[in-house]
Structure formats: structure tokens, C-alpha cells
Chains A and B, each alone.
Chain A
Amino acid sequence: MIGLWDTTGNEVVKALAAERRSAGGVASGLALTLVAVVEEKHVREAEAAATIAASAHPCRLLIVVRSDLDGRSRLDAEIVVGGRLGPAEAVVMRMYGRLALHAESVVMPLLAPDVPVVTWWHSEPPDVIANDFLGVVADRRITDCKLSPDPVGALKQRANDYAPGDTDLTWTRITLWRTLVAGAFDTTEERVTGATIVAPMTDPTAALMKGWLQSRLGIEPVWEHTDRSPRMHSVELKCANGDCVRVTRDEGTALFSRTGQEDRYMPLPKRAVGDELAEELRRLDADQIYSEALGAMAGIAHLDQRPPMRVHVWKDPALAARAGEAAGAFAGPGGSAA
């Protein structure tokens, strides 16, 4: 491990090369570069998640923490190869002041040559990804609307701002639900005529579930709002012949009921963010099913026909901040990096 304080991008590149050399026998297979954009208060969480994901996908991990945009420009970095961040080679960078707005100048030379770049925001997703160069340079972009104060609104904004290659972890969180629901129709030819989703009004996963069913089945699912459960509670599908399939969440399990059959319990665990991230990294091409579900949810057609490449649009958040909004969270110079 090398810690560098008040350093430069060039020093970081050199230190990474040196650390790789001295670690010896480093995994030479590198499938991708993962750029994690994190707020200071979420750094530990993001590190833990990235470590899990990196153990499934050999990658170079670049964690970018931007804070204190008004202060002096400064870069602190920590380089870890095959250490506490799992088998990956990792660089944790803390950027302050104006430098934080030009994070790409430090990140670009650190991207592994000619392998895909995935950018993951473990923070409130940017309104417009084109404003963040770290999103523009990426082949795949992963956001997490759950971290937004208005998750469903944030998800709609993801649809407005969508480009092929975007996904949101909200989508990943319903893979197990979708597996259960889809599995129910492997053995029947019955047409689905209606669906009911019971979930709190603010649950983005329910919004996507609704969009998915809508886009796949051509029906208009009903979203029944509830306060009983903090997350999606149940999904029920009615068939043309009157049969009914219902999946209800109960802690870490799902109750699977179907007309004419005994109720079954199936595992429906809450996965760690790291496992969700690992699922995302498994595919680096655009997820068409997601774009259809997202489009159906937001009422925007043909999302998948948008150009996959974004063009960087410069926007200075410092101007907006000075205009009266709250300034970026202050964080001390990462004392734990020692």
C-alpha cells in the first residue's frame, strides 16, 4: 500500500506501476476498469461493494471521492494492489477544490488500456450524465436511484437522460423477483390479462417492475400503494382462464402461490450492493430489456435507439453552489488512508 498526500496525477500513475511491480504475480488478466464515484460518507460502503465485485471480475478499481469544491485544489491518493480491496489493483483518490471538477484529468491516464470502462455512482445520480466526464468516458454507466431523495423521480430522470449502456441498480434489485415471476409462465401457455403490484409509493423497484410487465405483456399493471412494507410487497398476475400467480415478499423469502397448487416458499434474499454490482459487471453491452422497462415506466418510446455515445457538456457546479445552494459536504483530508 502506498499513500500519497497532496500529490499529482503523474505521481499516482508512477506509484501504481511501482506497486504492481513490487506486488509481483499480480493477476495479469484485466477485464475492465471500474470507476466508482463516491461521497466521502459512503467510501467504506463503496469499497466493500467494489471488493466483492472485483473478486468476481478481474478489474482495476478507481475510487473517486470529490469534496470541498470551494477549497484549495488538492489530490490525495492511496494505491492498493492485492490488499484490503481484494484481488483487484485499486486506487482511492480524494479530490478537493477545482481539481474535483476535472477528476478525469487524474483518472484518464489510470484507465487500463483498451478494456471497457464502467462508471458507478455510489451517490445521488447526476441529473445529466453528460455533465460528468467520468460518465462520458465510460462504456457502461451504473447509477443507484435509491440514494436519491426522490427515488421514483430520479428513475424518471434516468429515462429522460438515458443512453444505451446505462443501467440502474434498482433494476438489478428486481432480477430475483423477475426470475420468480417469469418462471411461473414457463409451463403454461395462458395469456396474462392483468397485474397488481403492492408497494410503497416511493419504491423505484415497483416502478420498474410495472414498466417491465407493461413492456413485455402489453398490459397496464395496477400499482397499489401501501405503507405496510418499506419495499415492494407483492406482485400478482391474473391469467385469461382466471388462474392467479402471486409472489409475496416475506423477509428473506418469497411466498409463491398459484391457483390449484400448494403455496411454496422460495429464497428471495436481500443481496449486498457488491453482489448487485457483480451482476451488473457480468454484461458490458446495453441492456435492451431494461431500456424497454424504463421507457414504459416513464412513457418514453425507443430509448434503445438513442446514440450510445454522450458528448461532454461543461457545467460548473461551483457557480450554482455560490448562487445560494448548499455547498458540497466538507470532509477532512481522509485521515484513515494511513
Chain B
Amino acid sequence: MGNPLRTAQDRRLPRIPEPCALVIFGVTGDLSRKKLIPAVYDLANRGLLPPGFVVLGFARRDWGDGDFESLAYEAAKKGARTPWREDVWQRLASQFQFVPGSFDDDAAFDHLASTLDDLRERNGIAGNAAFYFSIPPAAFPLVLNQLNRTGMADNAKSGGWRRVVVEKPFGNDLQTAMALNQLVDEVFTPQDVFRIDHYLGKETVQNILALRFANNLFEPVWNSKYVDSVQITMAEDVGIGTRAAFYDASGAARDVLQNHLLQLLALVGMEEPTSFDPNEVRAEKLKVLKAISIPKDIAEGSVRGQYLPGWVAGERAVGYLEEKNIPADSTTETYVAVRLGIQNRRWAEVPFFVRVGKRMPRRVTEIAILFKKAPHLPFNPADIEMLGNNQLVIRVQPDEGVVLKFGSKVPGTTMEVRDIAMDFQYGEAFTESSPEAYERLVLDVLVGDRTLFPDAAEVEQSWRVIDPLEAAWAGTKPEPYRSGEWGPRASDEMLAREGRAWRRA
């Protein structure tokens, strides 16, 4: 019959998960400290966690309970976005438990299972638990087998729901991704698997759907009749940081193109879903991913780059090959630009230029829709020299917002037209209270809303786009570019060959 105190009209009441436990594997790791624990604190502070909520931290090191608590305290205090309230933390921390053990330690997992059983009654969590894998992918099979052995992943046996959250990388290519998906889906049921692509937790990314499908203004021109090309950019000003081993083995394409950028492309290119039901949205995204075409001549239609020493934002930056733990002859790319297409009626012949890079002049992620020029311009050609393509730019980060660029008359006695930008900013100022991506996603996992999580089919389809590119790149050397530049010259030339140019993001 449902809860009589809740109705759809009562939109003040937030969604609150059922009483449950969050089990974090690798709780002492980077991700857990920087994102997860602060997100849990923020959720608690906003009053979005149910009574009886428990966090079980599992990690290899020999931590005492006190050590773990102080680690969690530091992490939460440093990363929290909501104001710090000691009493909220104290109550939350009293529901933190640390379970030490290595992943091949049967006794530790038995202990974890019995702890969860205890909590069922004592905290009234009714067997509900989410397992968060904040661990290297190599450890996945071990942990999954342990969960399988102890029956912790079994919905029926536990009497509640058991969910699993996995972070990227979702494999290293199609084959490993499929093996991983198979393994996870075998232990858990497929609808209980949540793959986190934190880009989808961002407010602006969700706003792409609102912009496209809540308005009548944009959809009629959202096709090859009006759109000249689409540019999707994700630039970072930082280098590879401390991720040398992982990064050198994967490179920019596997690291972010496969997941974040193809997801952005799918959201921009997809047809209207019949409803916002998770399955419907995923079905439309999958259709776009399946329709992606890669350049016929990959050498011609893609550029890989690797950063050289240089200056970024007033500081000297070392080159990729000089980074710690990177082999001096590495051919891993830190920049990639590729010309993709979408093979359907809406997007036929419209190129999607996608680029990602490290050590770019600034950090920016944006999607630019470049429209075709007006079919006829009744102006003196000299007057419209400064008139470019109309553009609609969705800025994902930073300064979330939307820019519309169009031609306007220069004030004065002559008819001179030039581009101006109309800028809508959510701006930092207006999104202070909007939740951080991880906060939103952790809550969605606990509530069981799968809309913002890509499913196995999407992940595998994305690898089908990346794998042929990687195969063609094998044995080639990336083009060098200076740190603090917008990528290698070859990338500009790639667009120049067809009379286009990158938008300065």
C-alpha cells in the first residue's frame, strides 16, 4: 500500500534510503578518503541517511579502531562540503566499524559476514548492504569470490538487498571488460551492479537532458540539417600525478575517453527516451554508442599526443617522460583527439570531434554544438568577416553553465556584424548547495536508483569504439606537445584539413 506519509506531491521530503550498511573495501585508499567518506558525512549532515545506517570499513592494514577513526575524521573534515558539525560526526563515527584483513583471508570475510548478520537485528538494517569496491581491479576477483563463498552477495539469503558499486576502470579492453562484467554479474544480480562514472553525477551533465528534452527551442535544430559539427573537450591542467603505473599502462583514451567522454557524447546524441525510467535512458544511450563510427583511416582521423616539459599556470612542469616511474621510452598518450561520427539519420555526416588532454592551459570540460552558417547572408561580405558559426556551448566544469554565441550588429553607423556570447552561469555562487557528484551517486546507490549508472552493455559498447583505435595506434609514437599548449599541432591540422578549427575552450 505504500507509505501514507509520502506522496509524489510532497516534494519537500527528500528520498531517504532504507536502513542499510555501506561496506567499503579499500577504505584507507585515496578515493575513499578524498570522496567517499566526505560524501557520507555530507549526506549525514543533510539528514539524508536512514536511522541505523552503518559504515563497515575493510582494509588490509593493521589498524586499531582508534586509528581508523582518526583517519576517517581527518578525511571527512578535509573533504566535507557542508559545514562541520562535531555532533553529527560523533554520531556517524559511532556507526563506523573497521574490519581488518587481507582479501585472501577467509576468516576476515567470515567475520564481515557475521558482523552484517549481527547488524540486521541490532540496527534494523534488514540485511540491506552495499559493497563499495574502492580497490584495484586486480583484486576484484578475489573479493567477489569471497563474497560469493560467504553468501554475502545473495539477496535471498541476506533477506534484504545486496548491491555492489564498482569504479572505473571497467576493464582494459572489451575482453577484460566482458570478463569483469561476467564475474560481477554472476556473483550479484545484474540490476544490483552500480558502475560509477562520476561525470554522470554532475549537475550540468544531468542538465543536458533537461536542456534538450524540456525545451522546444533546441531540439528542432539538434540534427545534421542545422549542426555543422560537435566538439567535446576535456582538458586538465595537471599531469598524471601519482598514478604513474596505472596511467602508463592505459593512457588518455582508456582513462577518460572510454567512459566520461563517450557518456557525454551519448547524452548529446541520444534520441528522446520514452520516459526517464533508467532502462529507457540506458536503451537510448546504448543505441547511440552502437551507432558510433570511427574514422576510416585512423591515422588521418585521430591524433595522439604526449606532453613535453613546459610552463603551466606560471609553474614549471616536467615532461611526461621525466615523470616519476614512467619509462623513458614510453609511448603512452596523454592527449588524444579523434573524429567520430554517429551513423543515424539525425547525425549523418556530422563530425564529433572529441579531445582529452593533460597539461593543457586550463582545466575545462565542455560540449560545443557548432551550427551551420546561415544558407544566405544578405550582407556585404566585408561586414560579416567576424561572423562565425552560431554555437551552443554546455560548460560542464568549471563555471557550470550554458553559452549561446550568435551574431549581432556592432553599434555604429555601418552594418557590421560580429559574434557575441550570451552567457548563462550556474556559477559557483548558485551551486553552493548542489550536492557533489559522489554524494548524489552514493545516495542513488542506497536508494536503488540506477538512472545515472552505465550498465554492462554500455561499458562493453564503449570498448568496441576504443579497441580498434588502440589497435591502430599500437607501435606508433605520440606527437609531442609542450605543457601548457592546446595539444599537438597535428590536432589543429586534422581539423584544418576540412576547414574547421578547435574552439578555444
- What is A's interface to B at a CB cutoff of 8 Å? 27-29, 55-58, 86-87, 172, 175-176, 178-187, 189, 192, 216-217, 252-253, 256, 258, 260-262, 264-269, 278-279, 283, 287-289
Contact between chains at A267 and B45 (CB < 8 Å): yes
Q: How far is the CB of B18 from chain A (nearest CB, A)?
A: 5
> How near does chain B come to A54, taking the closest CB pair, in angstroms?
9
The residue in chain A whose Cβ has the minimal distance to the Cβ of B434 is A56
Nearest-CB distance from A281 to chain B (Å)?
11
Q: Closest chain B residue to A185 by CB distance?
A: B3
Query: Is B274 in the interface zone, CB < 8 Å from A?
Result: no
B345: interface (CB < 8 Å): no
Residue of A nearest to B95 (CB): A264
On chain A, the residues within 8 Å of B6 by CB distance are 182, 185-186
**Is B422 positioned at the interface, with any CB of A under 8 Å from its CB?**
yes
Q: Which residues of B contact A262 (CB under 8 A)?
A: 52, 122-124
Contact among A27, A187, A258 for B430, CB-based, below 8 A:
A27
- Residues of A near B283 (CB, < 8 A) are none
Which residues 10-35 of B sit at the A interface, judged by CB distance below 8 A? 10-14, 16, 18-19
What are 29 A-B interface contacts by the 8 Å CB criterion?
A27-B425, A27-B429, A29-B401, A29-B430, A55-B429, A57-B430, A172-B12, A175-B12, A179-B13, A179-B14, A179-B16, A179-B47, A181-B5, A182-B5, A182-B13, A183-B51, A186-B3, A187-B18, A258-B51, A261-B124, A262-B52, A262-B122, A265-B91, A267-B85, A267-B87, A267-B91, A279-B12, A289-B7, A289-B12
Q: A182 to B3, Cβ gap below 8 A?
A: yes
Instruction: For B143, list chain A residues within 8 Å (CB).
Output: none
Cross-chain contact A261 with B52 (CB below 8 angstroms): yes
Contacting residues, chain A, for B425 (C-beta < 8 A): 27-29
In the complex, B50 has a CB within 8 A of chain A = yes
Question: Within the assembled complex, what's the spacing in Å between the Cα atoms of A187 and B425?
Answer: 41
B429 touches A87 (CB 8 A): yes
Determine if A183 and B91 form an interchain contact, defined as CB atoms under 8 angstroms apart. Answer: no
Chain A nearest CB from B246 CB (Å) reads 38
- The answer to whether A176 and B429 touch (CB under 8 A), given A183-B16, A192-B4, A262-B123, is no
Which residues of B62-94 are within 8 A (CB) of A?
85, 87-88, 91
A269 contacts B12, CB within 8 Å? no
- A53 to B7 Cα, complex, angstroms: 26
Decide if A264 touches B12 in the complex (CB within 8 Å): no
Q: Nearest 4 pairs between A and B by C-beta?
A: A87-B429, A182-B5, A264-B51, A289-B10
Q: Which residues of A contact B422 (CB under 8 A)?
A: 28
Are B429 and A267 within 8 A (Cβ)?
A: no
Inter-chain pairs besides A28-B423, A179-B16, A264-B51, 16 sampled, C-beta below 8 Å? A29-B425, A56-B433, A176-B47, A178-B12, A182-B5, A183-B16, A185-B3, A187-B18, A261-B124, A262-B52, A265-B91, A266-B47, A266-B51, A278-B433, A289-B9, A289-B12
Whether the Cβ atoms of A253 and B87 lie closer than 8 Å is yes
With a cutoff of 8 Å between Cβ atoms, the chain A residues found around residue B45 in the complex are 267
Interfacial chain A residues near B16, Cβ < 8 Å: 179, 183, 186
Q: Could you say which of B14, B88, B123, B430 contacts A267, with CB atoms under 8 Å apart?
A: B88
Tell me which of A28, A176, A183 contacts B424 (CB under 8 A). Answer: A28
Does residue B196 face the partner (Cβ distance < 8 Å to A)?
no
Q: Given A56-B433, A178-B13, A283-B11, are A183 and B50 also a contact pair (CB < 8 Å)?
A: yes
Q: Does B427 contact A (CB under 8 A)?
A: yes
- Most chain-A Cβ atoms within 10 A of its Cβ — which of B9, B422, B432? B9
Residue B494 interfacial (CB < 8 Å): no
B174 at the binding interface (Cβ < 8 Å):
no
Q: Which of B404-442 contact A (CB under 8 A)?
A: 422-427, 429-430, 432-433
Q: Look across to chain A and name the residue whose beta carbon is closest to the beta carbon of B427.
A: A27
Kindly state whether residue B126 has any CB partner on chain A within 8 Å: yes
Q: Is the CB of B51 within 8 A of A269?
A: no
Complex CA–CA separation, A266 to B401 (angstroms): 36
Residue B108, interface by CB 8 Å: no
How many A-B contacts if CB must be within 8 Å? Answer: 104
CB distance from A201 to the nearest CB of B (A): 25
Interface residues of B in 367-402 (CB under 8 A from A): 401
Min CB–CB distance B254 → chain A (angstroms): 37
Specify which chain A residues have a CB less than 8 angstroms from the CB of B423 in the assembled complex.
Answer: 28
Q: Which of A189, A252, A258, A267 contacts B124 (CB 8 A)?
A: A258
**B177 within 8 A of partner (CB):** no
In the complex, what's the smallest C-beta–C-beta distance from A131 to chain B, in angstroms? 29
Q: B5 touching A216 by the CB < 8 A rule? A: yes
A180–B429 alpha-carbon span in the complex (Å): 30
CB distance from A300 to the nearest CB of B (A): 19
B19 touches A187 (CB 8 A): yes
C-alpha gap A267/B19 in the complex (Å): 16
B328 at the interface (CB under 8 A from A): no
Query: Complex formed: what's the CA distance from A162 to B50 in Å?
Result: 35
Give the residues in chain A near B124, CB-CB below 8 Å. Answer: 258, 260-262
Contact status of A267 and B52, CB under 8 A, knowing A182-B6, A186-B3: no
B113 at interface, CB cutoff 8 A: no
- Inter-chain CA distance A57–B434, complex, in Å, is 11
Verify if B294 is at the interface (C-beta below 8 Å from A). no
Residue of A178, A264, A279 with most chain B CB atoms under a 10 A cut-off = A264
A262 to B52, CA, bound (A): 8
Assuming the A-B contacts A186-B16, A187-B126, A269-B85, are A87 and B427 also in contact, with contact meaning beta carbons closer than 8 angstroms in the complex? yes
B19 — which chain A residues lie within 8 A by C-beta?
187
Most A CB within 10 A of own CB, among B3, B19, B45, B124: B3
- Residues in B with CB closer than 8 Å to A183 are 16, 50-51
The smallest C-beta distance from A204 to any residue of chain B, in angstroms, reads 17
* Cα separation A182 to B123 with both chains bound (whole Å): 18
Name the residue on A nearest B160 (C-beta): A187
Q: Write the nearest CB–CB distance from B55 to chain A, whole angstroms.
A: 14
Alpha-carbon separation in the docked complex, A186 to B85 (Å): 27
Q: Which residue of A lies closest to B11 (CB)?
A: A283
Minimal beta-carbon separation of A96 from chain B (angstroms): 34
Chain A residue, CB-CB nearest to B88: A267
Residue B1 at the chain A interface, CB threshold 8 Å:
yes
Contacts of B244 in A (CB 8 A): none
A266 CB → nearest B CB, Å: 6
**Is B178 engaged at the interface, CB distance under 8 Å to the other chain?**
no
Q: Are A86 and B5 in contact (CB under 8 A)?
A: no
For B51, what are the chain A residues with a Cβ–Cβ distance below 8 Å?
A: 183-184, 256, 258, 264, 266
A288 touches B433 (CB 8 A): no
With A183-B16, A262-B122, A266-B47 given, is the CB distance from A55 to B5 under 8 Å?
A: no
A265→B123 CA distance, assembly (Å): 12
In this assembly, does B321 line the interface, its C-beta being within 8 Å of a C-beta of chain A? no
Q: Is B44 an interface residue (CB 8 A)?
A: yes
B123 contacts across to A, CB distance below 8 A: 261-262
* Contact yes or no, B430 A55, CB < 8 A: yes
Contact partners of A175 in chain B: CB under 8 A: 12-13
Query: Which of A189, A264, A279, A283 contacts B1, CB < 8 Å?
Result: A189
The reply to whether B430 and A56 form a contact with Cβ atoms under 8 Å apart is: yes
Q: Tell me the nearest residue of chain A to B429, going by C-beta.
A: A87
Tell me the bound Cα distance from A161 to B47 in angstroms.
33
Distance between A183 CB and nearest chain B CB, rounded to angstroms = 5
For the complex, give the distance between the alpha carbons of A265 and B4 in Å. 24
Q: CB-CB < 8 A to B424: which residues of A?
A: 28-29
Chain A residues closer than 8 Å to B13, beta-carbon distance: 175, 178-179, 182
